[in-house]
């Protein structure tokens, strides 16, 4: 497969090869499951040692935040509602299925979620995408969420 | 077999990667870090970020070669930490390898907040809106010749419409 020669692709490759991304991989916090431009599928370790996969469309990276959705990496499709973990508290809506058919996470680092919620620029200013922090910032945020007490293990999951 | 080490330092949150032979000597590590940082860290203190302990002597104690070696180096023995929460302010000193998570727990306790609710809060650098990863060594947040860092403690927002 011919790799595209475009700045967003090059920037993403550089981030995935950076020590700050690698250290998370080496600690078992996240890993690359597959990468076929513009879709990067990452697996993120959860509080109970399971793994959740996210498919991220990275066109325009890093100036544009990715589009992020829960993913079933075995079947190559969006993770079904029955397979999604339950979240409580501050993140109870993050994996909601009643918004955009559940194809995007409900978080300001997702491009569609952000552009459709103008109030988040202020209300969720501590959770915004920072281009300089790159894709690693997203993996750190997802890992923090999935290892918090608000992640409730128990549902069937597939990565 | 090489040992890959990830090193953060004063003012450097993003680690550098240093690869050395498995039988490396401590002076090899210091030399490699000096070269990578373009800075003379010969007199700086080194800490194991995972174990949160200073490294004394000539070797890294109890290092498991199958695990990830994460080091932090800093010229200061202690970092002065100030945390603002509304009109309240608390200050204390911690080793530079201490993480943002440790600062948050200490601040919640000193401010008299419910320690069981410490995950309801975030620490952001004074004047910033970036929430910091909990495993960030505070020494990496100090800049220049300073050995102090100031945070705002804020309630982590709930994501809703």
Residues A65-88 have pLDDT tens digits of: 999 999 999 999 999 999 999 999
Residue B123, in any domain of the structure: yes
CATH number of the domain enclosing B132: 3.10.20.90
Question: In this complex, is the C-beta atom of A19 within 8 Å of any C-beta atom belonging to chain B?
Answer: yes
Residue B160, in any domain of the structure: no
Average pLDDT over residues B118-138: 92
Spatial CA neighbour of B77 closest among B46, B100, B34, B103: B46
Residue B145, in any domain of the structure: yes
Q: Say whether both B125 and B61 belong to one domain.
A: no
Contacts of A125 in chain B (CB under 8 A): 129
- Put simply, the chain A residues between 100 and 159 with a CB less than 8 A from any chain B CB are 106-108, 117, 123-128, 130, 133, 140, 144, 148-149
pLDDT band at B57 (very low <50, low <70, confident <90, very high): low
Phi, psi torsion values for B72, nearest 5 degrees? -130, 135
Strand runs (DSSP E) across B22-159, as ranges?
45-48, 53-54, 69-74, 79-85, 88-94, 121-125, 148-155
Phi, psi torsion values for A121, nearest 5 degrees? -55, -35
Categorise residue A89: left if φ over 0, alpha if ψ from -120 to 50, beta otherwise.
left
Total domain count, chain B:
2
pLDDT band at B37 (very low <50, low <70, confident <90, very high): confident
Q: Is the pLDDT of residue A104 over 90?
A: yes
Q: Say whether both B64 and B96 belong to one domain.
A: no
Question: In this complex, is the C-beta atom of B17 within 8 Å of any C-beta atom belonging to chain A?
Answer: yes
Residue B51, in any domain of the structure: yes
Beta bridge partners of B6: B17, B70
Domain boundary among B74, B105, B122: B74
Query: How, if at all, do strands A67-72 and B12-21 pair?
Result: unpaired
Residue B39, in any domain of the structure: yes
Q: Which domain holds residue B24?
A: 2-74
Contacts of B104 in chain A (CB under 8 A): none
Question: pLDDT at position B62, please?
Answer: 63
Domain boundary among B49, B74, B99: B74
Average pLDDT over residues B77-92: 96
Question: In this complex, is the C-beta atom of A43 within 8 Å of any C-beta atom belonging to chain B?
Answer: no
Q: Could you tell me the pTM of the whole model?
A: 0.93
Q: Say whether both B99 and B145 belong to one domain.
A: yes
Q: Tell me what ipTM this predicted complex has.
A: 0.91
Percentage, residues of chain B above pLDDT 90: 57
Domain boundary among B35, B57, B74: B74
Average pLDDT over residues A12-21: 97
């Amino acid at each position: 497969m011919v790799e595209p020669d475009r700045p967003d692709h090059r920037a993403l490759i550089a981030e995935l090869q950076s020590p700050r991304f690698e250290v998370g991989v080496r600690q078992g916090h996240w890993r690359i499951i597959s990468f076929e431009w513009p879709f990067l599928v990452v697996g993120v370790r959860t509080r109970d040692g399971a793994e959740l996969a996210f498919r991220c469309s990275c066109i325009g990276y890093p100036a544009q935040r990715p589009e992020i959705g829960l993913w079933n990496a075995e079947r190559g499709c969006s993770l079904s509602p029955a397979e999604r973990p339950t979240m409580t508290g501050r993140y109870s809506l993050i994996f909601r299925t009643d918004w955009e058919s559940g194809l995007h996470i409900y978080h300001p680092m997702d491009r569609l979620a952000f552009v459709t919620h103008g109030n988040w620029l202020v209300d969720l200013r501590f959770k915004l995408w920072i281009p300089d922090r790159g894709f690693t910032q997203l993996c750190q945020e997802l890992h923090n969420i999935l290892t918090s007490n608000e992640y409730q293990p128990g549902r069937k999951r597939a990565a | 077999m090489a040992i890959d080490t990830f090193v953060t330092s004063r003012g450097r949150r993003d680690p550098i990667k240093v690869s050395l032979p498995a039988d490396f000597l401590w002076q090899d590590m210091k030399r490699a870090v000096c070269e990578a940082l373009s800075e003379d860290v010969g007199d700086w203190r080194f800490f194991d970020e995972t174990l949160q302990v200073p490294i004394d002597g000539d070797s890294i104690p109890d290092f498991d070669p199958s695990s990830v070696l994460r080091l932090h180096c800093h010229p200061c023995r202690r970092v002065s930490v100030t945390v603002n929460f509304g009109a309240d302010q608390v200050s204390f000193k911690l080793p530079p390898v201490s993480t943002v998570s440790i600062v948050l727990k200490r601040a919640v306790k000193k401010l008299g907040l419910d320690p069981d609710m410490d995950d309801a809060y975030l620490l952001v650098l004074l004047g910033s809106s970036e929430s910091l990863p909990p495993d960030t060594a505070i020494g990496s947040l100090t800049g220049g010749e300073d050995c102090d860092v100031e945070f705002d403690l804020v309630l982590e927002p709930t994501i809703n419409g």
